[in-house]
Each structure stands twice: as C-alpha cells, then as structure tokens.
Chains A and B, each alone.
Chain A
Amino acid sequence: MNKRRDAVVKALMVLSTAAACAVLVWILSFIMANGLSHITKDFLSSLVPQLITTVYLIAGTLVVALPIGVGTAIYLSEYAKPGKLLSSVRFAIQCLSSIPSIIYGLFGYVLMGTMLKFGFSLVTGMFTLAVMVLPILISTTEEALMSVPQAYREGSWALGAGRLRTTMRIVLPTALPGVITAAILSIGRIVGETAAVYLTVGTSLKVPTNLLSSGRTLSVHLYLLAKEAITPDAFSEAYATATLLIFVVLGINLLVRLTTRWKKG
C-alpha cells in the first residue's frame, strides 16, 4: 500500500520536474530557432551600443549595490543582536523585493531623473536598479554568511581577533561563493529588467559616453522591437536580440564562475 503510494508520488514529482525542464528547453529552442538565423555580422554590429549600455549598467549597478548589500548582510548576520529591530529590518527588506519593478522605475525617474535633474541617464538607472537588487543581494549574502560554521568564528575569537577581523579574514572569505551567487542573481535581474530601465536609462541608441548619457539596453531594445517597431522584420530582429541576450547572461555567469574558481585555486 505504502509502496504504491510512494511510487505514485515519485512519478508525479518526476513528471513535474520533466515539465519544468521541458518548458525551459522549449522556450530556449523556440527563441534560438527563430533568432539564430538572423544573427549576422551586420546585425551584431548594429547591436553594439545596446550591448555596451547593458554592460555599463550592470557594472554601475553592482558598484553601487554590492558594498551596500554586502555591508548590510554583514551587519545583520555578524553584528545585529536578535530582536524586534532585526526582524523588522528583515521584513522591510523582504517587502522591498515584492514591489513591482515599474514602481521602482517611476520612483527613480521622478527622484533621480526629474527632481535631482539627472534625466534619462546611466546614473539614474544605476541607482534605481541598485535599490531594486538590494533585497536579493542582502538575503542571499546573509544566508551565505550564516551558513559559515560558528566554530570558525569561535576559533578566531579565541585567538584574540575581534569581530571585524573575524568577519573580514574568516567569515566573508568563507562565504565568498555565496556572495558571488548573489552578484550573479543580481546581474540576471539587471539584464532582464525592462520597465525600470526604460523609465530611467531611456532609449537612446548612442553609445553612452559618460554617466549622464542615456542609452538603450538589450532588454529595452527587445521590447521596442517587439512592441513598437514598424519594419517588417522587426520580430525576427527581436528573436535575434533575445538570443543574444541569453548568450550575454550565460557568458556573464560562466565568466564570474571561472574567475572565482581561478582565484580560489
């Protein structure tokens, strides 16, 4: 009786896993099938500004968000005393992650773009997206820090090291793979974000020359191609852009993993 139920449950779980994988494979192959043939040299060179804007936005956002996010996670995990304050801070961070991105976009546009007069620019986008990726950055990093064995901290304290030295020399390096995962997740969010970027970085097709330049990321370009372009082969171009976007994300993932493995070895 029990055996039969086990078998049924197992079959169901295998089935749902297969379904999840199948959907992923389907989407990827569909996009690639429609996109790959349109990736030509000319097409790629026309996307150079979008590619550069995307990379700039990733770098800029991480420069702003990483120190704040990792610093917050360190405070929450290593310094803050458990209590009401800590749990309400955690709750606030969770709330931040459930706000729709268009609201971040609107807020960033109004505050940075209009009130502070940065307009549609990289800097407006950087700060807006930084706030957006903070929740995932903080919670992933905090989890990584908390999974560092307490015995490491005690060993360090017993040798006379203070909290700061223990954190910087032992805890943070041990949690580094988790911090990198947090950064990769953030990059995924930045690359994929459209609404907030459209409202803050803008849609200019030029290569940004400084932080105050507007630009167009791949995702925004994809949106514009699919929704607003009037040329007949806009949809094919959209597929091709999507294909490129997938490769960019994969490439960044691999690059980050490779560099960190190389550093550790």
Chain B
Amino acid sequence: MSNVFEISDLDLFYGNFQALKKVNMDVPERQVTAFIGPSGCGKSTLLKTLNRMNDAIEGVKITGQVLLRGSDIYQGMDVSKLRKRVGMVFQNPNPFPLSVFDNIAYGPRTYGIRNKSKLQGIVEHSLKKAAIWDEVKDRLNKSALSLSGGQQQRLCIARALAAEPEVLLMDEPTSALDPISTLRIEDLVMELKQDLSVIIVTHNMQQAARIADQTAFFLHGEVIEYESTEQMFHLPKDPRTQDYITGRFG
C-alpha cells in the first residue's frame, strides 16, 4: 500500500504560537483517514497545511516537509496545481452565489476547460458521484443557494470532485448538518474512497469510528496516537487517547 501524503517533522507557528509540533504521519492511498481531538488541538490546521490554505494567513511559519506522492508541496510546487490535486470541503457549505452548473464547472473552467459539452459531461459525472444528480438535474440553472443545507454540502463535494482530485480534505463537513444529511455524506465518503483518498477532520468520534480506516488523535498541536481506527477505539495505547474517546474531556 502506497502513501499519498508523507508528512515529516512538520512545525507550524502562528506568530509566536506553535500550532503544530513535530508532526510525522503517512496518509495511505484510497482510504479514509480521520483527525480527531478537542478544539484548538491543531487538526484543522494540519488539514489546511495539506492544500496550503494556511498560506493566506498573516504570520504563518511552516518548517518540515509535506510530500504529495513524493514531491514537496512547499518547494517549487504551483499552489494552483496542488489544489487541483487536493480538493477541499469546508465546515459550512459554501456554494458560490451562481447556478448549480456554474458552481461545479468553476474548477474545470479555472483549469482552462471551455468546451461546453465537455463541461456538461464533467458536471453530470461529478453530481452523480456526489449522489446529488437526481435532486438537481432539473435545476442546473437555478441558484445553488436555493438548495437545502445538506444538498449544498453535497454540491460542494461535487464541486471539489469536478477537478478530479487525488485527495479530498474535509473539514468537519457534517457539523452544520442534520443527522440524515450527515448519514448521506458519511455513505458518500465510504464510496468515494474507491477512487481517492479522504482526510476528514471531525468533532464526532462516532463518525470517525464509523467511516475511518485509520484515525489520528491530536492534543495541543501534537499527534498523540495514529493507527487503525479499530485499534484506536478498542485498545488505545496512550492514556490521553483513552480519556478522550471515553469522553473524560474534550
């Protein structure tokens, strides 16, 4: 089994505050990897390091290495190309105030695809993959903002998939959604891993237990434990992991 990401000795500072401390982690291909931990533990920060979304924040300093299939994403890799390969879904659904079609086509158009029928093919394919095609196929020209919250989030997943990424980063994608929408997205994630790697940050430990192949537990910017989900939830090695997953804190 090969790795899609290899992270070594990663430190991240916001000004003087160290948000990530010596993170070492290999993320395997075509699996679901979950990041869990209490608020402010660095799990979202690490996620945003993987597509360089932290670059936009003032005063961020990053040292160490992040390899995407062997090439360093912080050394000589074009950010735009990186983000084509590593898609992202946010905590709150953020469809653009455009039509459903234009939302999905936004990524491909950014990469220079102009051909109408090609775009139509991509839009249909992506919406089908995100299990929302049947709900929106008759309203592709309607505003994406007219969809429900759960639909908007699946639309955002479709929008990310339209760029045909190798990795999908999901930052607490269901925390703003109702239980039924959450379930649909979890099912979707399980299906998506046939084609790509998914890294999901979640506050919800049951969610990690349900969908993740391996889980990393973060505390104060450190990876305390990282192993198969099964192992972590049954026989955690570190007492702090034990305390967290049994609900003693967090």
Q: Is the CB of B84 within 8 A of A151?
A: no
Neighbouring B residues of A170 by C-beta, 8 Å: 96
When each residue 136-170 of chain A gets 1 if its CB lies under 8 Å from chain B and 0 otherwise, what string results? 00000000000001011011111111100100011
Q: Is the CB of A160 within 8 A of B84?
A: yes
CB of A101 closer than 8 Å to a CB of B: no
When each residue 34-61 of chain B gets 1 if its CB lies under 8 Å from chain A and 0 otherwise, what string results? 0000000000000000010100101000
CB of A174 closer than 8 Å to a CB of B: yes
Residue of A151, A160, A162, A165 ringed by the most chain B CB atoms within 10 A: A160
Q: Is the CB of A155 within 8 A of B94?
A: yes
Q: A158-B51, A160-B81, A161-B80 in contact; A152/B96 too (CB < 8 A)?
A: yes
Closest A residue to B78 by beta carbon equals: A160
Q: Is the CB of B96 within 8 A of A156?
A: yes
CB of A81 closer than 8 Å to a CB of B: yes
Q: Is the CB of B53 within 8 A of A157?
A: yes
Q: Is the CB of A157 within 8 A of B106?
A: no
CB of B110 closer than 8 Å to a CB of A: yes
Which of the 9-residue segments B23-31, B64-72, B85-93, B200-208 touches chain A? B85-93
CB of B13 closer than 8 Å to a CB of A: no
CA distance A169 to B83 in the complex (A): 18
CB of B221 closer than 8 Å to a CB of A: no
Q: A158-B53, A161-B110 in contact; A151/B83 too (CB < 8 A)?
A: no
Closest approach, in angstroms, between the C-beta of B112 and any C-beta of chain A? Answer: 11
Q: Is the CB of A158 within 8 A of B96?
A: no
Neighbouring A residues of B82 by C-beta, 8 Å: 160
Neighbouring A residues of B84 by C-beta, 8 Å: 159-160
Q: Is the CB of A157 within 8 A of B110?
A: no
Neighbouring A residues of B90 by C-beta, 8 Å: 151, 154-155, 158
Neighbouring A residues of B81 by C-beta, 8 Å: 160
7 smallest beta-carbon distances between A and B, as pairs: A151-B94, A160-B83, A158-B88, A160-B80, A159-B107, A155-B94, A160-B84
Query: Which residues does A use to contact B, with CB under 8 Å?
Result: 81-82, 149, 151-152, 154-162, 165, 169-170, 173-174
Starting from the known contacts A152-B94, A152-B96, 17 additional A-B residue pairs (CB-CB under 8 Å) come to A151-B92, A155-B94, A155-B95, A157-B56, A157-B83, A158-B51, A158-B87, A158-B88, A158-B160, A159-B87, A159-B110, A159-B163, A160-B163, A161-B106, A162-B80, A170-B96, A174-B96
Query: Which residues does B use to contact A, with CB under 8 Å?
Result: 51, 53, 56, 58, 79-84, 87-88, 90, 92, 94-98, 106-107, 110-111, 156, 159-160, 163
